[in-house]
Amino acid sequence: AKSEGHNLYRFFEPDMDAMVLARRALEADLEAALPHREFELDFQPIMNIASGEVVGAEALMRWHSPTRGLVQPDDFIRVAEETGLVVPLGEWALRKACTTAARWPSGLRIAVNVSAMQIRSGAFARSVISALAYSGVAADRLELEITETVLMDESDMVLKALRQLRDLGVRIALDDFGTGYSSLGYLRRFPVDKIKIDRSFIRDIDKRDTAAIVRTIIGLGAQLGITVTAEGVETDAQLDFLRQEGCVEAQGYLIGAPSNAATMQRLLGSATPR
């Protein structure tokens, strides 16, 4: 039985050439996907917990590949970062998100995910300003969601670009808060407008220790004047806890799953304009 197992292992040993080829094929498909208009944005509503109203939506990228089917961002964003495609792709997303939000009631915000590589590319602030001008969306309606890898960057260029945009009224949200190495340090290094508590905390919110951490993050936000948004809210019990603790915003399947622009437009069109 032992030698059989050994043979099986050898049989299934990953073939490096095949892996390299698969990766190259993915890179080539990704490269072609932008000119072929295979990308789309879905939008997920964000709710103010106290009022129960939708206050905006987050744009989430989808790749409709003719050969691979629907590919989720977790399966292509990293490769797009490694090849540099994330720069033009991110620019496209910014424009698409802003032109979509231009048709929403004007009180509603649009949140767009931005990768570290995109901001490091140099022309980032300019491309944001151009997306706003092109769409006619006011700067204070746009929220850029960054992770701490962005703030980890040593170069001044990144902080300068973020500061320039913030001065124009663009909001900066720290995404996946709590999952990194020193999230608190980054709050001192760069003043953000919002923190988004990672959904792994919300999932375990019924555990005593996790509840204490979430409560602390909410209190921290209140003390610093930073909006706190809870991600991945799926149950009434989770929302009740967050409401009780004074969390400002919630996002998750309980409030609404990501949906295409037309569906989101219908949902937001019926929202009370402010």
Closest separation between CB of residue 191 and ligand C2E, Å? Answer: 21
The piece of 18-26, 67-75, 132-140, 237-245 that touches ligand C2E (CB under 6 A) is 67-75
The piece of 22-30, 99-107, 226-234, 239-247 that touches ligand C2E (CB under 6 A) is 226-234
Distance CA 44, CA 80 (A): 22
Distance CA 75, CA 60 (A): 13
Q: What angle do CA 47, 148, 39 make, to 5 degrees?
A: 65
195 strand-pairing partners: 174, 228
Q: Among candidates 58, 38, 34, which has minimal Cα distance to 46?
A: 58
Subset of 1-60 contacting ligand C2E (CB under 6 A): 44, 60
42 binds Ca ion (CB under 5 A): no
Q: Among candidates 189, 178, 111, which has minimal Cα distance to 150?
A: 189
252 binds ligand C2E (CB under 6 A): yes
Contacts of 45 (CB under 8 A, 6+ apart): 54, 56, 57, 251, 255, 256, 264, 267, 268
142 binds ligand C2E (CB under 6 A): no
Closest separation between CB of residue 251 and ligand C2E, Å? Answer: 6
Toward ligand C2E, which CB reaches closer, 60 or 187?
A: 60
The piece of 30-38, 66-74, 185-193, 209-217 that touches ligand C2E (CB under 6 A) is 66-74
Contacts of 145 (CB under 8 A, 6+ apart): 58, 111, 112, 113, 114, 173, 175, 196
Per the structure block, which two tokens stand in for 150? 């962005």
258 binds ligand C2E (CB under 6 A): yes
Closest separation between CB of residue 14 and Ca ion, Å? Answer: 27
100 binds ligand C2E (CB under 6 A): no
91 binds ligand C2E (CB under 6 A): no
Distance CA 232, CA 177 (A): 13
Work out which of 45, 71, 100, 113 binds ligand C2E, going by CB under 6 A: 113
For residues 221, 194, 160, 131, the Cα torsion angle rounded to the nearest 10 degrees is -170
176 binds Ca ion (CB under 5 A): yes
Residue 73 contact among Ca ion, ligand C2E, none, beta carbon within 5 to 8 Å by kind:
ligand C2E
Distance CA 37, CA 88 (A): 13
236 binds ligand C2E (CB under 6 A): no
The piece of 99-107, 115-123, 160-168, 228-236 that touches Ca ion (CB under 5 A) is 228-236
- Interface residues with ligand C2E (CB under 6 A) are 44, 60-61, 72-74, 77, 90, 93, 113-115, 145, 175-176, 199, 232-234, 252-253, 258
